[in-house]
Homo-oligomer: A and B are copies of this chain.
């Protein structure tokens, strides 16, 4: 019990941003609302196009920081092009150091490859061996082979050279359409890893509305991902 308490008390940062199927965006925002996390700050970047969101009359910047107990969240509502992605990653690292974050978890999507789109699987990738145990304990399949581009790649690149271990959860999803179904498995898995309780009834109810509401963001995200002329894929690009 004591050990388990210690684990739950280490500072954990969750990161989400628009990517394949908008899995990261759906998952992280759902968690923020469901857990009632508190908005505590924002991350600026002079090269981000001027953008604001309004929610219940409150003005929100595109990259926001939330917190509840030992869980921190950094989420972006704007897709991040390859040029901004490294700066975003460096900002996250600086924030982690300042706030004594001991572990970060990125939630993202990955083009589904095997058969049944109704039962998406989730894969885990870790930057430091110390996190392998999380995969094992929570029965998350290991991401074995593939290429990673964009903001995910930028954050992993920066953190694998740091002392802060990173877990990336890749939920299989439709790459070109908002995929709230894929987010359900991501949320469920994340809840297990964080040892918290989150139900997904709300997301299941709003499924169709979410798909329609986020068409524009999905398009913009695809455009940004394609700036690198490649989409994340599990097709091997290196010789084995």
Give chain A's interface residues, CB within 8 Å of chain B.
25-26, 29-30, 33, 46, 49-57, 59-61, 77, 82, 85-86, 89, 125, 127, 142-151, 153-154, 156-157, 160, 210, 213-214, 216-217, 220, 223, 228-230, 233, 235-240
Determine if B50 and A151 form an interchain contact, defined as CB atoms under 8 angstroms apart.
Answer: yes
For this chain, the copies found in one complex come to 5
Determine if B85 and A50 form an interchain contact, defined as CB atoms under 8 angstroms apart.
Answer: yes
Binding site secondary structure of chain A: mixed
Contact partner of A82 (CB less than 8 A), chosen from B50, B85, B153, is B50
Determine if B237 and A216 form an interchain contact, defined as CB atoms under 8 angstroms apart.
Answer: yes
Q: Shortest Cβ distance from A47 into chain B, in angstroms?
A: 9
Contact partner of A50 (CB less than 8 A), chosen from B125, B144, B153, B229, is B153
Determine if B52 and A147 form an interchain contact, defined as CB atoms under 8 angstroms apart.
Answer: yes
State A228–B62 Cα separation when bound (angstroms): 14
Determine if A157 and B52 form an interchain contact, defined as CB atoms under 8 angstroms apart.
Answer: yes
State A154–B229 Cα separation when bound (angstroms): 24
